[in-house]
Structure 1
Amino acid sequence: MNQTLFTALLTVSLATFAFSCFRRLSLVTVGRSENRFDRPVDRLKEMLVYAIGQKRVVSRPFGLNHGIIFWAFLVLALANLEFLLSGLIPAVSFALLPAPLHGALLFLFDLCSLATLLAVTTAAVRRTVNPPFDGARTFEAYLILSMIAALMLAYFGLNGVRIAQGMLPQTSATPVSNLVAGLVKTTPAAAHLETAGNVFWWIHAVVLLGFMNFLPYSKHMHILTAIPNVFLRSLDKCSTQERETFLEGNSFGAATVERLSWKDLLDSFSCTECGRCQQSCPAASTGKLLNPREVIHAIKENLLQNGAVMEKISGDIEAEREISLIGNGKGGSTEEAALWSCTSCGACMEVCPVFIEHLPKIVKMRRHLVQMEARFPEELLNLFENMEQRSNPWGMAPSERSKWSSQLNLRPFEAGVTEYLLFVGCSGAFDARNKQVSVALTRVLDAAGVSYGVLGKEEKCCGDSVRRLGNEYLFDQMAIENVQQFLARGVTKIITQCPHCFTTLKNDYRQYGLELEVVHHSELINQLLTSGRLETTGNAEIGRVVFHDSCYLGRHNDVYDAPRQVLEMTTGRKVWEMGRNRENAFCCGAGGGRMWLEEHEGTPINRNRVQEALAQQPETVCVSCPFCMTMFEDGIKDVPGTTTQVRDIAEVVALSLQPSLLPPATS
């Protein structure tokens, strides 16, 4: 080993590595400001659980293999530190430590090196035989795996030679190195142990320094950014969007990287390209253009190509076109059709091991298209006009909103007289099928003696769909009107039957200074049943039941148990689960404004989900969302011969009410 040569090589490598990291990570600063440093103790806990503990990684079967590589690398970082320091100062060695501690370290290094070698071999085989996604067999991926394997082999070779030379003791602490030493003695290298040791040493040195300098230019930069990215994650569910300020001269949404936040840009460097988001995405799974992994990759590619010159651009139209995030799907851009395919279900964010936030970026690009360029699917024109003029998706007259309850004699909400406002929602008031759910819910509430009232024709749409579709200006107007009405009427508690209304009133309206107690009907009914305020027969005759999780109730708000408990208490039966359930549930296809858009690519998402439900051979599919109700009913109609019914949980509870508590039926 030439100490002078290594010192020069290490100095140049460290300087190059530092420059490369600075050059790349400094690009993040072109993004907009965002506070991600609050609640540092909570962030540290999350980082320990999800980054160091690899909780999400190992939640999938093959994730354990990556976890082994990660944890082994943490241990081997000590071995590599000793290697680099001893290259500069040969006297520096862990051998100076007390013998028991040195022996423990040698054992850990031996064990972790073997585990890493086996894990990268397994990863290479899997990528070859059963790749996680199309295009996963890349030269870069195999190069990285080969470099890691070379480091492990060089480590064993060097230690084996040292043991054969007597420079390291042959102890039980180094079982693999002992085996290598025995093999070395049987080869011609036994006569040239010093030369063999130098060869293994330089292989290890060159590969280690080469690997280090290759990281900033590869997808494996996530080794450097993933842990900080988890620390900087959103500590709350990404169940709402950033509020915009509407002043003359402002730009809205994001078509260029500087319109995204610095955290959005850090996300792009942290992507591991594991493909989990792609596998979970309902749009990608059913043949749509959207691929959340490629959206993030496009942002990174766009940033690398254009980030350094962003500050030099000042309104030049041609330059803006060159750096657009929205384009033909090439050169760091995402196609418009892909952006409109998103159902905002949140599955991509739920499975991402490094907590990349895909959905907010897609909404920001939608906002640019809608508000800056007025480019959106033609089908949305009527929706936006209906919402603006009549505050409902169908353009129905406001006077029609209360007709569903014309024979129910419901009490209007009055502060101090009624405890809850029953926010019926557009589907519950106008859609023929979901009107039945509204009626069933009022029967349940009446049977339990719940004090509630309605707004009737004064109720307005909450604005969920227009916000997720990117029409933030219209949403802003709708939200302000609703907030003013709630405050004027003294509303403090709201019951919703629609998870989209639920999340909008509960989460989005906080940005407008409105703090409400918002409860989904599944939660309230569960409370009424468990407290004994609501009595049922407990044997609703609806046969074998399979339950579908609404994305906006489950993933966006963590309500999973309440609807299941309600069904079990009212039917006396086990609730059957689909293969994809709870946080891994598959979307019905209606979220993110897709309720109002036709699917022109691939397989309809609702058909995919319906087939999964029918595979359980249920008599009843239960839902807890008006959108899911519509998508399932439409999907089941396309399946010839099926007699499966779709019911909301409120309808199931109404069926099982004690006869003495059942209010009179109305037509």
Structure 2
Amino acid sequence: MTSRPTIFAVLLFISLAIFAWGCWRRFSLLTIGQREDRFDNPGQRVLEMLKYAFAQKRVLAKPFGINHFVIFWTFLILLVANSEFILNGLFPSIKLIKLPFELYVPLVFMIDMASILALGAVVIAYVRRIVAPPFPEARTAEAFVILTLIGMLMVAYFFLNASELATIMYRSNSDPASFLATAGKMMPVSALIAGLLPQAQLGSIHGAAWWLHALALLTFICYLPNSKHMHILTAIPNCFFRRLEKPNTVPREEFKAGNTFGVDRVDHFTWKDLLDSFSCTECGRCQNACPASLTKKPLNPRGIIHDIKVNLLKNGPGLKNGQQPVKALIGEEGEEHCCDEAIWACTTCGACMEACPVFIEQMPKIIQMRRHFVETEARFPEELLNLFENMEGRSNPWGIAPSERTKWSATLDVKPFDSDTTEYLFYVGCAGSFDARNKHVTVAMTQLLDKAGVSWGILGKEEKCCGDSVRRLGNEYLFDKMARENVALFKERGVKKVIVQCPHCFTTFKNDYRQFGLELEVIHHSELLRNLVQDGRLVLDKTTAEFGSVVFHDSCYLGRHNDVYDAPREVIAAATGAAPAEMERNRNNAFCCGAGGGRMWMEEHGGERINLARVKEALEQKPETICVSCPYCMTMFEDGLKDVKSEGVRVRDLAEVMAEAVLR
């Protein structure tokens, strides 16, 4: 029955040395990353860590999350049992049974129940990996190894305790039924197994169970920092170091001689970016939320993070010593690096970041790799050349003369913005100024503003593009120029409050321009219209049935990136008398229309078109009207409806719906 403390001590020392070396080998690689301050607001960070790492809020948001929650918390509880096991292995006289009775009984009961819950959760996870994996590539040997080790720990624990209980029972000549009933109140599962064990084999069973537990535990210790399950060590700190605000923008670049632009090597990422790569749990949630991945494009957000980790492990040791990388981070094709086509497939919708339970920031990394392509190599899809030239030359995607910006207002009484007499700048935007379909939205919005008595004006020919698309596409040099020009113009004109009807303009002015020292009160037209109705400045005598049944599509840049979900729905409900129907994927789980991240200006090759996938989802609700709150979404839905030849369904911006109810 001896635990052979000397042998165990040697094995434990070897295991801990391997564990320490594995942790050092990986964690030391974070030092090659660029500096980034993630230590601000420590109190808030601790609360966020408790909410998301320990309470597992995002994990539980998905149906199977409860299984991981059980494994996580039983793992923490069983740290007590495993610590006792290690101490007992080194010093056999140390046993939990020596604790005060009042503490011992609830502790062993909790450990016994935690062990059976953990075993059940492992079996469920094992079956799921075989029968219905969370993503196609989830059936890996690594995943099955770690589940097997956890299962072995639980089985060994039960037989170890059961054999000890049975030994005590037989040595004390107790009545088996009475003894097991009493023991069952403390260790229900172990007591149940104890009654099944043969008396003659108890010594052998105890010895085998002890060493099975020891070997499984020591193997787990060795394996942990050298596998994808290192996330057990990094996920909690990754939640602590999460970006406290929405990760809806990217850092500025300094355009100085000698600087590098974008990222083409892992040491050009920040240390937090590299920590992200070690924190990926490979749960597949990002992959299952990504519109590019779901429509069979080469982009896989999980794969991007995995490739960064693989590249870091390959190049990191040499980079620490000042050597050049031996393997490229990005390339045209192949495995273990981020391929060009995947990087350009991203719509920057943020679905991957919203789904990630440990707050990995995939989108900013992709944009920084795009920056390298655009600014360093001038290697990008050829259709973007015209876009960049048009933006630089005429500050709009189509290259239309700036003098044409006000043609939409030719028959309207529209006043220029004057900070002395005008409260709001109505920033019309490129689509609202130049796109034939979206001009109707602009006109409807101006009529509503006048009806409500809002003080507003426009910049007219002086208005320039906000630069959203060029920034998401990686042309930071051009965006920097456009942003500085707009900031100077807004400050010169005394602009403090801005109304926008495009979520891309909304997020750019509200979030990106803060990096350029401009603080604005930016309000999306959905929020403004909702407020005007609530304040009684827009009066609806009766709602209209003109638009029939309405289904609403969430814009990624209004919803996920800026948490504006209720305002558009409240506007539609006020205008139509009923809440809009919801698509299966809505609010923070909404599916992208396919136009974000500059994809509006690019061809879509391979797989199903993203806008078609979303249009088909909308048509499942059998709507007469699809309501949107974004000019890009308007274009993508109208194109999609033409492709599926659904002539009975119309696409309307919510401003048009409200105008019909108020102005008819």
1:459-516 Cα offsets, whole Å, 9 max, x none, are: 0000000000000000000000000000000000000000000000000000000000
Matches within 5 A, 1:147-546: 147-166=149-168, 170-185=183-198, 190-313=199-322, 319-320=324-325, 322-540=326-544, 541-546=546-551
1:72-102 Cα offsets, whole Å, 9 max, x none, are: 1111111111111111122222222221221
Q: Residues 568 and 654 of structure 2 are in contact (CA less than 8 Å); yes or no, is this contact kept in structure 1?
A: yes
Q: Residues 287 and 300 of structure 2 are in contact (CA less than 8 Å); yes or no, is this contact kept in structure 1?
A: yes
1:261-281 Cα offsets, whole Å, 9 max, x none, are: 110000000001010000000
Please point out which of 107, 110, 120 is paired with 1:108.
110
1:362-381 Cα offsets, whole Å, 9 max, x none, are: 00100000000000000000
Deviation at 1:537, TM superposition (A): 3.2
Give the Cα separation in 2 of the matches to 1:430 and 1:324.
42
Matches within 5 A, 1:621-636: 621-636=626-641
Q: Residues 537 and 658 of structure 1 are in contact (CA less than 8 Å); yes or no, is this contact kept in structure 2?
A: no
Give, as a single letter, the amino acid of the residue that structure 1 aligns with 2:215.
Answer: V
Please point out which of 543, 547, 556 is paired with 1:551.
556
Q: Residues 277 and 351 of structure 1 are in contact (CA less than 8 Å); yes or no, is this contact kept in structure 2?
A: yes
Q: Residues 256 and 323 of structure 1 are in contact (CA less than 8 Å); yes or no, is this contact kept in structure 2?
A: no
Give the Cα separation in 2 of the matches to 1:527 and 1:417.
22
Q: Residues 332 and 341 of structure 2 are in contact (CA less than 8 Å); yes or no, is this contact kept in structure 1?
A: no
- Length-normalised TM-score, structure 2: 0.96
Give the Cα separation in 2 of the matches to 1:381 and 1:455.
28
Matches within 5 A, 1:582-593: 582-593=587-598
Give the Cα separation in 2 of the matches to 1:233 and 1:610.
34
Matches within 5 A, 1:554-569: 554-569=559-574
1:210-268 Cα offsets, whole Å, 9 max, x none, are: 01110112111100100000100001101111100000111000000000011000000
Deviation at 1:313, TM superposition (A): 4.7
The answer to whether residue 68 in structure 2 is matched with residue 66 in structure 1 is yes
Give the Cα separation in 1 of the matches to 2:579 and 2:428.
30
Give, as a single letter, the amino acid of the residue that structure 1 aligns with 2:523.
Answer: V
Deviation at 1:421, TM superposition (A): 0.3
Deviation at 1:10, TM superposition (A): 1.2
Give, as a single letter, the amino acid of the residue that structure 1 aligns with 2:571.
Answer: V
Q: Residues 302 and 331 of structure 1 are in contact (CA less than 8 Å); yes or no, is this contact kept in structure 2?
A: no
Which runs of no fewer than 5 residues in structure 2 stay unpaired?
A: 170-178
Deviation at 1:301, TM superposition (A): 0.1
1:526 is paired with a residue whose SS is: helix
1:588 is paired with a residue whose SS is: coil
Please point out which of 650, 657, 663 is paired with 1:652.
657
| Residue of structure 2 equivalent to 1:126 | 128
The answer to whether residue 631 in structure 2 is matched with residue 618 in structure 1 is no
1:112-145 Cα offsets, whole Å, 9 max, x none, are: 1001111111111111111111121111111111
Q: 1:108 to 1:121 in 2, by over 3 A?
A: same
| Residue of structure 2 equivalent to 1:662 | none
Deviation at 1:330, TM superposition (A): 3.6
| Residue of structure 2 equivalent to 1:665 | none
| Residue of structure 1 equivalent to 2:176 | none
Deviation at 1:353, TM superposition (A): 0.5
Give, as a single letter, the amino acid of the residue that structure 2 aligns with 1:610.
Answer: V
Give the Cα separation in 2 of the matches to 1:544 and 1:411.
36
1:342-395 Cα offsets, whole Å, 9 max, x none, are: 000000000001110000100010000000000000000000000000000000
Which runs of no fewer than 5 residues in structure 1 stay unpaired?
A: 660-667
| Residue of structure 2 equivalent to 1:580 | 585
1:169-224 Cα offsets, whole Å, 9 max, x none, are: 72412110011101113xxxx21322321211111011101011101121111001
Give, as a single letter, the amino acid of the residue that structure 2 aligns with 1:225.
Answer: T
Give the Cα separation in 1 of the matches to 2:661 and 2:512.
35
Aligned CA RMSD, in angstroms, stands at 1.2
Please point out which of 573, 586, 599 is paired with 2:604.
599
The answer to whether residue 141 in structure 2 is matched with residue 135 in structure 1 is no
The answer to whether residue 51 in structure 2 is matched with residue 55 in structure 1 is no
Please point out which of 3, 12, 15 is paired with 1:13.
15
Give the Cα separation in 1 of the matches to 2:477 and 2:514.
17
2:547 is paired with a residue whose SS is: coil
1:494 is paired with a residue whose SS is: strand
2:426 is paired with a residue whose SS is: strand
Moved more, 159-168 or 543-552: 159-168
Q: Residues 533 and 539 of structure 2 are in contact (CA less than 8 Å); yes or no, is this contact kept in structure 1?
A: yes
Deviation at 1:607, TM superposition (A): 0.1
- Aligned pair count? 650
Moved more, 11-20 or 590-599: 11-20
Identity across aligned pairs (percent)? 60
Please point out which of 23, 26, 30 is paired with 2:25.
23
Deviation at 1:323, TM superposition (A): 2.8
Moved more, 230-239 or 640-649: 640-649
1:656 is paired with a residue whose SS is: helix
| Residue of structure 1 equivalent to 2:172 | none
| Residue of structure 1 equivalent to 2:173 | none
